[in-house]
Amino acid sequence: MKPEYRMRFKTGFSEPIKYTPIALCAGDVKHKLALHRDTRGEWIIAHPESGTKVLEVHGYFEKLPTLNMSSRDMALAEARKAAEAQFNAIIRRVGADKVNSVIEKAPRS
């Protein structure tokens, strides 16, 4: 049975959402995150302890990630690889310390 969490919104929390656990590292810190589809069928990564969305997984065009491509047609294995690549791209852009700080400061449910 898959674990569940509640996504945080400005107006409160969602109903329980089943997710696939995914561990992603930012520097020396390992984050236990949630990979699942949103209500539109797109894949997202969230922090299950706080309910905060970390990133929306995007599709690829000619093997290059692009922000305007849907991830709806991706299987779980493809979504996992894309999520890891996008998480690492964020780390390269802003640094592991910033990523860790933002996740650490996310309010807990």
C-alpha distances (whole Å) from 3 to each of 6, 22, 34, 36, 77 are: 11, 12, 9, 11, 18
C-alpha distances (whole Å) from 63 to each of 44, 73, 76 are: 19, 15, 17
Q: pLDDT, tens digit, for every residue of 5-17? A: 999 888 888 899 9
Q: pLDDT, tens digit, for every residue of 48-66? A: 999 999 999 987 666 665 6
Structural domains of the chain, count: 1
Q: Which of 22-36, 56-70, 73-87 has the lowest average pLDDT?
A: 56-70
pTM above the 0.95 mark? no
The whole domain housing 50 covers 4-105
User: Taking 80 as the threshold, does the pLDDT of residue 68 lie above it?
Assistant: no
